Amino acid sequence: MTAVRNLVLVLGDQLTPALSSLAAADPSRDRVLMAELHDEASYVRHHKKKIAFVFSAMRHFAEELRAAGWTVDYVKLEDPANRAGFTGQLAAAIAEHRPRGIVVTEAAEWRVSQMIESWQNLFSIPVAILPDDRFLCSHGAFEAWAAGRKQLRMEYFYRDMRRRTGLLMDGDRPVGGKWNFDSENRKAADGDLFMPRPKACLPDAVTQEVLALVEARFGDHFGDLAPFWFAVTRAEAEAAFAAFVDLALPFFGDYQDAMLEGQPFLYHSVIAQYLNCGLLDPLRVCRRAEAAHRAGKAPLNAVEGFIRQIIGWREYVRGIYWLKMPGYERSNFFGHTRPLPGFYWTAETGMACVKAAVTQTREQAYAHHIQRLMVTGNFAMLAGIDPHELHEWYLSVYADAYEWVELPNTVGMSQFADGGLLASKPYAASGAYIDRMSDYCGSCRYDVKQRTGPRACPFNALFWDFIARDRDKIGQNPRMAQMVRAYDKFTAAEQQRIGASSAEFLASL
């Protein structure tokens, strides 16, 4: 047997054949290590579907690498040689193979990157940590963009990304003459529209084995395992994305912010879990969407909106995460301390919008952006929930959840807990917004038109109470100042009723 030159550690969200660590290695002399790790499956209590998805995608990727000529040590969860964590597993592999060095693509999140940085000292062998070039904006490029700016607004970052990638550009000008078509993307959905479901993939034998394993080992985690329909290979993920481009992308823009009872996916792509673990490539996905537009198959407002989410928001939140960690995790601008209500896990609440979002989260490990931002996120901010507890909830319950993307979305975008670094204003809304964008209110036991009293939509009194409570912190923002002025116009008796309704509801949580 030839001596192993390097061990290439491939993490569970690095399932990409063109990964920098693999590109730097040689299948004839280097050995790949992958491991299903209890520590990674339980640093938060991930949704069962997410664990099954990651393990099955990892197993399939190991086979893809073997077929391409790599020697892969794949340590299953039940293997007696399993050491539960990255460091222990690597120590065992080093003892067994005595490699000259370790090669790894940088971890996507802080927790694991700290671990990796300790290895060179710990093991006394060279550890090469390579950049993750699946992201379009490197850490250095984001730092350079952010340096010296008073405000880090996504929109300007996004324009730079459009110029750098050439996506939807006519020379140096944006296709259609505008950078952003968001104002066209706010239609409420109508239940009579045809809603394509995301392409479902049948679990093969590998996935079936993983499903049994997850039920046996993580059966007490949140969420339903069945039905399991996620893609677990690159080919399946590509097929799911192709189906989205054909059937849903044309309407993605129009109904991006809409919510409908019984329609968890609407016209969303449901690909974040594939992008985040490496089964789909962000730039390729954007180029496919652009090609659909250029071929006349999808309108500009849809394609621009879709591309903006990926080269704009996705890259921008990653940049903010790495710029601001580790302190960012404990941001709490409003000083909120209320524990997360039990209904975030049980869905047992009379609020139809929250019930729908949590129920589909339990069933599908999925909720679309507006449900996360304007229902569960908005409620938590208005109710003064501890942002760190909420962060752990979002990190646990979604198949696409990884801290680098989840934390800025939760702490920055949805809770304004960073004081406005990421978002230009708090995403706070009363029931009227949810009523406008959804059909939830019709079946709700609360009345969205009432502001106070036992039957009033809780979002209403909570919204005005939030404005009154935090007026000093939000009042400088022109859009929030308008809300403060509106609150000030209420009679003293109405303000008193708002305070009492809100306090009564919060006491009942």
Distance separating alpha carbons of residues 133 and 417, to the nearest angstrom: 30
- Three-class DSSP category at 361: helix
Segment near ligand FAD (CB under 6 A); pick from 8-16, 401-409, 418-426, 495-503: 401-409
Distance separating alpha carbons of residues 352 and 426, to the nearest angstrom: 23
Residue linked to tokens 């007696």: 80
Task: Give the count of residues interacting with ligand SF4 (CB under 6 A).
Answer: 14
Choice between 213 and 270, CB closer to ligand FAD:
270
Is residue 162 within the footprint of ligand FAD (CB under 6 A)?
A: no
Tokens of 50: 């997410």
CA dihedral sign of residues 159, 161, 163, 169 = negative
The CA–CA distances, whole Å, from 118 to 7, 124, 126, 314, 318 equal: 16, 10, 11, 28, 23
Residue 440 interface partner, choices ligand SF4, ligand FAD, ligand DLZ, none, CB cut-off 5-8 Å depending on type: ligand SF4
Is residue 373 within the footprint of ligand FAD (CB under 6 A)?
A: yes
- Residues between 412 and 451 that touch ligand FAD (CB under 6 A): 413-414
In the complex, least distance from residue 473 CB atom to ligand SF4, rounded to whole angstroms:
24
Residue 54 interface partner, choices ligand DLZ, ligand FAD, ligand SF4, none, CB cut-off 5-8 Å depending on type: ligand DLZ
Contacts of 77 (CB under 8 A, 6+ apart): 36, 37, 38, 41, 55, 213, 217
- Residues between 378 and 397 that touch ligand FAD (CB under 6 A): 394
Residue linked to tokens 């019709």: 442
Contact 38, 189 (CB under 8 A): no
Tokens of 142: 């984001």
Segment near ligand DLZ (CB under 6 A); pick from 92-100, 103-111, 154-162, 208-216: 103-111
| Chain-centroid distance, C-alpha 384 | 22
**Exposed / middle / buried, residue 78 (Cβ in 10 Å: 0-12, 13-18, 19+):** exposed
SS3 for 458-502 is: HHHHHHHHHHHHCHHHHCCCHHHHHHHHHHHHCCHHHHHHHHHHH
In the complex, least distance from residue 399 CB atom to ligand FAD, rounded to whole angstroms:
9
Choice between 189 and 317, CB closer to ligand DLZ:
317
Is residue 374 within the footprint of ligand SF4 (CB under 6 A)?
A: no
In the complex, least distance from residue 111 CB atom to ligand DLZ, rounded to whole angstroms:
7
Contact 47, 365 (CB under 8 A): yes
- Three-class DSSP category at 121: helix
Closest C-alpha among 83, 105, 115 to residue 32: 105
Is residue 35 within the footprint of ligand DLZ (CB under 6 A)?
A: yes
Distance separating alpha carbons of residues 40 and 335, to the nearest angstrom: 30
Binding mask 246-285 for ligand FAD (x = CB under 6 A): ----------------------xxxxx--xx---------
Is residue 186 within the footprint of ligand FAD (CB under 6 A)?
A: no
In the complex, least distance from residue 150 CB atom to ligand DLZ, rounded to whole angstroms:
31
Cα-based angle 485, 491, 497 (whole degrees, multiple of 5): 105
Choice between 108 and 270, CB closer to ligand DLZ:
108
- Residues between 42 and 101 that touch ligand SF4 (CB under 6 A): none
Alpha helices in 106-263 (DSSP H): 110-123, 139-146, 154-165, 205-218, 234-247, 249-252
Binding mask 289-318 for ligand FAD (x = CB under 6 A): -----------------x--xx--xx--x-
Is residue 161 within the footprint of ligand SF4 (CB under 6 A)?
A: no
Residue from 352, 381, 383, 390 in contact with ligand SF4 (CB under 6 A): 352
Is residue 120 within the footprint of ligand FAD (CB under 6 A)?
A: no
Residue 410 interface partner, choices ligand DLZ, ligand SF4, ligand FAD, none, CB cut-off 5-8 Å depending on type: ligand FAD
In the complex, least distance from residue 312 CB atom to ligand FAD, rounded to whole angstroms:
8
For 379-389, b/e burial (b = at least 16 CB within 10 A) is bbbbbbbbbbe
Is residue 180 within the footprint of ligand FAD (CB under 6 A)?
A: no
Residue 394 interface partner, choices ligand SF4, ligand DLZ, ligand FAD, none, CB cut-off 5-8 Å depending on type: ligand FAD
In the complex, least distance from residue 80 CB atom to ligand FAD, rounded to whole angstroms:
33
Tell me which residues touch ligand FAD (CB under 6 A): 268-272, 275-276, 306, 309-310, 313-314, 317, 368-369, 372-373, 377, 394, 398, 400-402, 405-406, 409-410, 413-414
Tell me which residues touch ligand SF4 (CB under 6 A): 351-353, 431, 434-435, 440-441, 444, 446, 448, 457-459
